[in-house]
Amino acid sequence: MDYQTLKTDILILGSGGAGLFAALHALQANPDLDVTIAVKGLLGKCGCTRMVQGGYNVALSPGDSVERHFMDTINGGKWLPDQDMAMRLCQTAVTRVQELENELGCFFDRNDDGSLHHKAFAGQTFDRTVHRGDLTGIEIISRLMEQVRALPVNMMEEHRALALLPSRDGDALAGVLMVDMRSGEFRVVRAKAVLMATGGGPTMYRYHTPSGDKSMDGLAMALRLGIGLRDMEMVQFHPTGLLAGRDTRMTGTVLEEGLRGAGGYLLDGNGERFMLNYDADGERATRDIVSRGIYAEMRAGRTTPNGGVYIAMSHLGAEKVAQKFPGMVKRCADCGFDLAGGRVEVVPTAHYFMGGVVVTPDTRSRLPGLFVAGEDAGGSHGANRLGGNGVANSTVFGGIAGDEMAGFAAGQGTWADIDEDLVSAAIDESMSPLRRAKADINSIRDRLLDLMWEGVGVLRDAQGITRAQTQLADLKSELLASGIGDANRVFALSWHDWLNLQSLIEVSEVIAAAALSRENSRGAHYREDFPEVGSLEESYFTIARSEATGLKVERRPVEFSIVKPGESLIQDD
């Protein structure tokens, strides 16, 4: 199969907060660079930065400090975060928010005196979340997008990355194989530096929040190249995803945390409150606790018609609810539900992936030429991400990646030779479902989402995980023998559905292996057969890698490079 070869200095995969900031910073550092952004959807429109509701954590308030933000991040991450990354996150968030306002034109909510408004967010000891109403992500990504679109960057929209291409000697990354989803043509982009910022996104669960384009392609490509992935057992579930029944795209999308914070009730199928049976804070307990409470109710069969629980707000006064949460009320109404005055079915929903590629705080992976930022990178969040640290993470490290890659491209970066046989093999593999007869891809997707939900979801144990691993292996064989029965590659969604499933199954295997390896319960990872947190002093994180003999998971001790368990950087704590 023919393919076109292009050359660029810096290739960026993804156009969320990380990808766009990287492009901006790379060109600011060196305007002579040739920068290319490739993205699976439309630039700035797909991905999850746009979907941020809550806001952006930044220590800008009088009385708050970077150290306090850092300690909250470490405590929230149950002592698993890479402390140097977490510190870099908290420090750089300050300049990044000022950059967003002063240079990009974001306008975050203000107090009457004109100062930035900081709202309270779960798990934090200070009100530090900067926001724009409850649609912060739209403001951030829209302003970023218009800045980047005004720059001389090469845009490859609706291009799917198929494989990371190492140099012939294997010592560096040389480029990326892509397919133009609109035409079906293959393209190899050779680059001196590549940023992987495809945005993770745990969409292999029956209920999930990320945008539909996300399917862990980045991590799957890294895995195939033998790159180590850390904290892969750490999948954050948001407790209240909308539940609208099978075959509905809206199912799984987030109903915001503030609903519970404001006093909303969670009710079982019989209309009874249940969260107080699980935690003294009831519905206001943290995301992980509420998710587990709902999951336990569902497992006990006390469910709503579609198999979830209800969220009810009407006791707070329908008018008040409509006033306080206009976006959520309108969204539910458009989909046929009355959030303000009635009950809406909800379920826990897979929201964010804490795990990812092992990187240094300056976004370098171990493979020269490969930089990773945003949800594809692991380390900042450890076992749990604080609400408001997600968009901070992607924008902070995206900008850093842009600065670093500009230096790398002008220095040690080269256009390394690519093995053409490798390209041909990868193209051939990607086209295999086009050659095979039509099979029931939807059934494979449904079974994948069900088995991950049941076996490696909110509550886990060895037996369930092992069963899921067997099912995953079977499903993988079935997928590899399945076709879509249509050879047309032009805007071929069903072909991409197949490729998405391949990435999702491969990464699911890693999640399961890492989940089996961690024999304690930390943050988002809860083992019913190992419910204890384990010794904080002996905290370890997992690294998974694909080897010739199969997946290998090892445990590595957390380096307490800044603060040890029992200590704090805050004087008065």
What is the set of active-site residues? 238, 260
Report the C-alpha gap between 330 and 335 in whole angstroms. Answer: 9
- Binding segment (CB under 8 A) for other proteins, from list 37-45, 225-233, 509-517, 553-561: 37-45
Instruction: Please say which residue, 104 or 222, places its beta carbon nearer to other proteins.
Output: 104
**Per-residue interface string for the shown chain with other proteins, residues 199-218, x marking contact by CB under 8 A:** ------------xxx-----
Q: Please give the sequence-ordered ranges of beta strands (E in DSSP) within 340-393, or none if there are none.
A: 343-353, 356-357, 370-372
Interface with other proteins includes 72 (CB under 8 A)?
Answer: no
Interface with other proteins includes 473 (CB under 8 A)?
Answer: no
The sign of the torsion formed by the CA atoms of 67, 70, 74, 75 equals: positive
Binders of other proteins among residues 340 to 379 (CB under 8 A) are none
Q: Please give the sequence-ordered ranges of beta strands (E in DSSP) within 52-150, or none if there are none.
A: 56-57, 118-119, 129-130
Interface with other proteins includes 494 (CB under 8 A)?
Answer: yes
The H or E element containing residue 179 is: strand 173-180
Out of 2, 62, 63, 150, the only residue in the binding site for other proteins (CB under 8 A) is 150
Out of 6, 296, 318, 335, the only residue in the binding site for other proteins (CB under 8 A) is 335
Angle 34-39-45 from CA coordinates, rounded to 5°: 115
Beta bridge partners of 418: 167
Out of 149, 299, 320, 552, the only residue in the binding site for other proteins (CB under 8 A) is 149
Interface with other proteins includes 116 (CB under 8 A)?
Answer: yes
Instruction: Please say which residue, 336 or 411, places its beta carbon nearer to other proteins.
Output: 336
Interface with other proteins includes 490 (CB under 8 A)?
Answer: yes
Beta bridge partners of 545: 552
- Binding segment (CB under 8 A) for other proteins, from list 16-24, 41-49, 361-369, 510-518: 41-49
- Binding segment (CB under 8 A) for other proteins, from list 9-17, 240-248, 288-296, 315-323: 240-248
* Residue 110 region by backbone torsions, left for phi larger than 0, else alpha for psi between -120 and 50, else beta: beta
Interface with other proteins includes 105 (CB under 8 A)?
Answer: yes
The sign of the torsion formed by the CA atoms of 64, 67, 73, 74 equals: negative
Instruction: Please say which residue, 336 or 566, places its beta carbon nearer to other proteins.
Output: 336
- 8 A C-beta contact, residue 233 and residue 542: yes
User: Residue 82 is encoded by which pair of tokens?
Assistant: 């890479």
Number of H helices, E strands in the chain: 15, 18
Instruction: Write the DSSP string, 141-174.
Output: HHHHHHHHHTS--EEETTEEEEEEEEBTTSSSEE
Instruction: Please say which residue, 101 or 185, places its beta carbon nearer to other proteins.
Output: 101
Instruction: Write the DSSP string, 507-526.
Output: HHHHHHHHHHH--S-BTTB-
Report the C-alpha gap between 343 and 269 in whole angstroms. Answer: 11
Instruction: Please say which residue, 101 or 281, places its beta carbon nearer to other proteins.
Output: 101
Out of 171, 491, 531, 557, the only residue in the binding site for other proteins (CB under 8 A) is 491
Out of 139, 217, 454, 506, the only residue in the binding site for other proteins (CB under 8 A) is 139
Instruction: Please say which residue, 245 or 342, places its beta carbon nearer to other proteins.
Output: 245
Cα R_g (the chain), whole angstroms: 23
Report the C-alpha gap between 280 and 557 in whole angstroms. Answer: 33
Out of 250, 262, 316, 431, the only residue in the binding site for other proteins (CB under 8 A) is 250
- Binding segment (CB under 8 A) for other proteins, from list 146-154, 194-202, 290-298, 450-458: 146-154
Size of the site for other proteins (CB under 8 A): 67
- Binding segment (CB under 8 A) for other proteins, from list 139-147, 276-284, 355-363, 546-554: 139-147
Out of 29, 42, 225, 318, the only residue in the binding site for other proteins (CB under 8 A) is 42
- Binding segment (CB under 8 A) for other proteins, from list 5-13, 138-146, 382-390, 522-530: 138-146
Binders of other proteins among residues 176 to 195 (CB under 8 A) are 182
Which residues are within 8 A (CB) of 93 and not within 5 positions of it... i.e. 6 or more apart?
A: 56, 57, 58, 59, 69, 392, 396
- 8 A C-beta contact, residue 362 and residue 396: no
Instruction: Please say which residue, 87 or 130, places its beta carbon nearer to other proteins.
Output: 130
- Binding segment (CB under 8 A) for other proteins, from list 271-279, 288-296, 328-336, 531-539: 328-336
Interface with other proteins includes 568 (CB under 8 A)?
Answer: no
Binders of other proteins among residues 399 to 438 (CB under 8 A) are 438
- We find the least distance from the C-beta atom of residue 355 to other proteins, in angstroms, to be 23
Q: Please give the sequence-ordered ranges of beta strands (E in DSSP) within 330-455, or none if there are none.
A: 343-353, 356-357, 370-372
Report the C-alpha gap between 508 and 452 in whole angstroms. Answer: 7
Pairing of strands 356-357, 370-372: unpaired
Out of 142, 154, 424, 432, the only residue in the binding site for other proteins (CB under 8 A) is 142
- We find the least distance from the C-beta atom of residue 69 to other proteins, in angstroms, to be 17
**Percent of residues in the chain assigned helix, strand, coil, to nearest 5:** 35, 20, 45
Question: Which residues of this protein are in contact with other proteins, per CB under 8 A?
Answer: 41-43, 45-47, 50-51, 60, 95-99, 101-105, 107-110, 112-116, 135, 137-139, 142-143, 145-147, 149-150, 182, 211-213, 244-245, 247-250, 253, 331, 334-337, 438, 441-442, 484-486, 488, 490-494
